[in-house]
Structure 1
Amino acid sequence: MVLLVFVDLDPQLTALGALGGFFVLRTGVPPRGPLPTLARAYARPRADGPGEVYGDPMTFRVEKVAKSIGAPEARVAASVAQQGLAARLWSIALGSAVVHGQVPDLDPELLRWDPDAGAPDDLWLTEVRARPVSDLDEAVRAGHLVPLSAALRDRYRVSPGLLWGNAGSALAGTVRQLDRWARGHGQPEAGERARTLAAALLAHPDLAGTLDPRTLRRRSCCLYYRVPGGGVCGDCCFERPPRPAPGRS
């Protein structure tokens, strides 16, 4: 029997950086000064106040993504932005569970986010507190993806099925990345642990049915094919970009 050997959850979370860019979680105070918390980003927009560099951080991010990819409509950019952030959150939590046997407390009030950064999203954890792996679902789906989905539906009328499909796809992508890392470092048991944890996460009603259980191909589309030159993603439900309906560009 192969046993997993965990690395303690260190105050700087340095071990996560070895897994790849999406797994990096910086700690402490960002050198460029205070950044909005993700709790602030999920909240309803409000008038700028003291220290409100970005006004509404979520709207700022979606508009930045829209300009970057040339999105033809705001909900396409909202979908891309949400999937990128979901991938970061799943990577940090699942990577920690596999490497440390614990997950950091990812309370949205503790996580600071730079909506003006490139990809992957720039996240800073102000305080490192260990939580058991049993809190994995609470740390990401309930703690972040539920309020993130609500914020984007409120602002951009994005379909809930699309957003949860993005979340399921992002989780499957995290597992593939962890499995590649595990096989490349002679730790296949780590990849198996990632798959087992992900299977439990995907059983939640919010995520159940978002992916084909046999192929992990998603059952919804993130709309990226509408970006000029975007095409379809590798796990898209479409084999090729759908043709627009008559009279619609």
Structure 2
Amino acid sequence: MDRDPGLTALSALGGFFVLRTGEPPHRPLPTLAEAYAARDAQTDREVYENPVIFRVQKVARSVRAPEPRVAASIAHLGFAARLWSVALGAAALYDRVPDLDPRLMRWDADASAPDELWLTEVRGLPAERIGEVVRDAHLVPLAAALRAQLPVSARLLWGNAASALMGAVRQIDRWALANGRAEVGNRARSLATGLFAHPDLAGTLDEVTCRRRSCCLYYRLPGGGLCGDCCFDRPPGRT
């Protein structure tokens, strides 16, 4: 990471792993610390007023979500996947994790990956600190922000976090095998094992199948089915 301060190597893993660095070039954006702290009963305000709810509503319109908790879950799952991908990808490639302090990260809730996140200062940390970098600094306050404003369960959100983490592990492992970089996949899997042992994530996935034990509610979308790691064998209420 010290030799790649722009984190350019992450692009090899795929666009979802890319993290922009420096200040956003077009307009000032709120930090993630500000986004997590925002509370506003009028959730139709513009992106700067309440970025978390703005993102949920953007997702709701895009997928035609039938109820707020479905949109909240899908928005959360995507954002958790971005955070785990960036952090785990960096840890696997560099054996270091960038300090993703929410005060250093700017977020454009109206943009898509990789242009929605900007890390204004790149500071490397030991890879073993990935849990506090993602789980403690982001997933905990993000869940609190969502649950303070929308009817979504903590169990569902931690299931999303686990599913997103496993998805990042699988993508890194595929890349490592295809590119003869076994050590990259080994680091990702080793770090993930430690992360899944934390009380917030322990038990969220089946230990044998890696299927989750909660549902992200994707099946409730118009035309939605089951995700590959869904806890259900068929959509509830259908035959």
TM-score calculated relative to the size of structure 2: 0.94
- 1:73 lines up with 2:64 in the alignment: no
Give the Cα separation in 2 of the matches to 1:226 and 1:143. Answer: 30
The match for 2:119 is: 125
User: 1:136 and 1:241, CA in 2 relative to 1: closer, same or farther beyond 3 A?
Assistant: same
Matched-pair contact (CA < 8 Å) for 1:90–1:171: yes
Matched-pair contact (CA < 8 Å) for 1:85–1:121: no
What displacement does 1:54 show?
2.5
Matched-pair contact (CA < 8 Å) for 1:84–1:121: no
Partner SS for 2:97 = strand
How do 1:145-184 and structure 2 match up within 5 A? 145-184=139-178
Matched-pair contact (CA < 8 Å) for 2:70–2:218: yes
Partner SS for 2:214 = coil
The match for 1:230 is: 224
The match for 1:107 is: 101
Please give the per-residue CA displacement for 1:134-176, whole angstroms capped at 9, x wherever unaligned. Answer: 2110000001000011111111121100000000000000000
- 1:58 lines up with 2:56 in the alignment: no
What displacement does 1:47 show?
9.4
Instruction: Structure 2: state its 5+ residue gaps.
Output: none
Partner SS for 1:32 = coil
Please give the per-residue CA displacement for 1:20-39, whole angstroms capped at 9, x wherever unaligned. Answer: 11110001111221111111
Aligned match for 1:136, one of 130, 140, 143: 130
Give the Cα separation in 1 of the matches to 2:38 and 2:29. Answer: 17
What's the Cα RMSD here?
1.7
Please give the per-residue CA displacement for 1:71-90, whole angstroms capped at 9, x wherever unaligned. Answer: 00011010011111100110
Aligned match for 1:86, one of 73, 80, 88: 80
User: 1:212 and 1:124, CA in 2 relative to 1: closer, same or farther beyond 3 A?
Assistant: same
User: 1:163 and 1:190, CA in 2 relative to 1: closer, same or farther beyond 3 A?
Assistant: same
User: 1:139 and 1:42, CA in 2 relative to 1: closer, same or farther beyond 3 A?
Assistant: same
The match for 2:36 is: 42
The match for 2:91 is: 97
Partner SS for 1:243 = coil
What displacement does 1:9 show?
5.2
What displacement does 1:215 show?
1.1
Partner SS for 2:208 = coil
- 1:116 lines up with 2:89 in the alignment: no
Aligned match for 1:23, one of 1, 17, 21: 17
Give the Cα separation in 1 of the matches to 2:142 and 2:135. Answer: 10
- 1:242 lines up with 2:236 in the alignment: yes
User: 1:242 and 1:121, CA in 2 relative to 1: closer, same or farther beyond 3 A?
Assistant: farther
Matched-pair contact (CA < 8 Å) for 1:9–1:130: no
Letter in 2 for 1:14: T
Q: Which runs of 4+ in 1 moved over 6 A?
A: none
- 1:192 lines up with 2:186 in the alignment: yes
Give the Cα separation in 2 of the matches to 1:71 and 1:183. Answer: 37
Instruction: Structure 1: state its 5+ residue gaps.
Output: 1-6, 245-249
What displacement does 1:118 show?
2.9
TM-score calculated relative to the size of structure 1: 0.90
What displacement does 1:61 show?
0.5
Give the Cα separation in 1 of the matches to 2:68 and 2:115. Answer: 19
User: 1:121 and 1:162, CA in 2 relative to 1: closer, same or farther beyond 3 A?
Assistant: farther
Partner SS for 2:33 = helix
